[in-house]
Amino acid sequence: MSSELQILLETINFSAEKHRNQRRKDPDATPYINHPIGVSRILSHEGGITDLQVLQAALLHDTVEDTDTTFEELEAIFGNKVARIVQEVTDDKTLPKHERKLLQVNHAPHCSHQAKLVKLADKLYNLRDLNRCTPTGWTAERVQEYFVWAAQVVKGLRGTNAALEEKLLQLFKERDVDI
């Protein structure tokens, strides 16, 4: 087997173990790992991305934010470049929510190309997930607010990947959200 495939499988397994006790917020409490795998798949199948580091960073993108994983751990196992991409897309959960959300909007244009790709696919997955079903406890207004905020973030990511951006713009259009 090629070493690239081995690395990809190692990364999927690492992320699955880290997210093993976490569930999505949908009524079925879907295993959380469906999300990072889906984000990586969007990049590969819809974005045409073959850069292994980007596909790995997508698989790992919520491990530090949502589990006990550290950047040092990611760097030791997957190398400096993958760890850095994950760092760029990781929110500081110690900050108040409104501040975190504002930081994403302000930081998006300054991210590396690789991090921008992960951010585009993350938003595309989450917006599709909101169209599929409403997370437990979310009102229709909160869903719409997420679309409005996501459009602000995506605005700062434009010029990164035409296929992913086209699909995101269509989702905003369907919600009458300006970008």
**Site residues for ligand G4P per CB under 6 A:** 24-26, 35, 62, 65, 91, 97, 122, 126, 129-130, 135, 146
Decide whether 7 or 25 has the Cβ nearer to ligand G4P: 25
Give the span between the Cα atoms of 161 and 49, in whole angstroms: 9
Indicate which single residue of 14, 62, 108, 114 sits in contact with Mn ion (rule: CB under 5 A). 62
Q: Is 116 helix (H, G, I), strand (E, B) or coil?
A: helix
Beta-carbon count within 10 A of 142 CB: 12
Decide whether 1 or 45 has the Cβ nearer to Mn ion: 45
The item of Mn ion, ligand G4P, none sharing an interface with residue 26, based on CB under 5 to 8 Å by kind, is: ligand G4P
> What's the closest the beta carbon of residue 128 comes to ligand G4P, in angstroms?
8
Provide the residue type at 79 as one letter.
G
Residue 125: is it exposed, middle or buried by C-beta count within 10 angstroms (0-12/13-18/19+)?
A: buried
Contact positions vs Mn ion (CB under 5 A): 62, 122
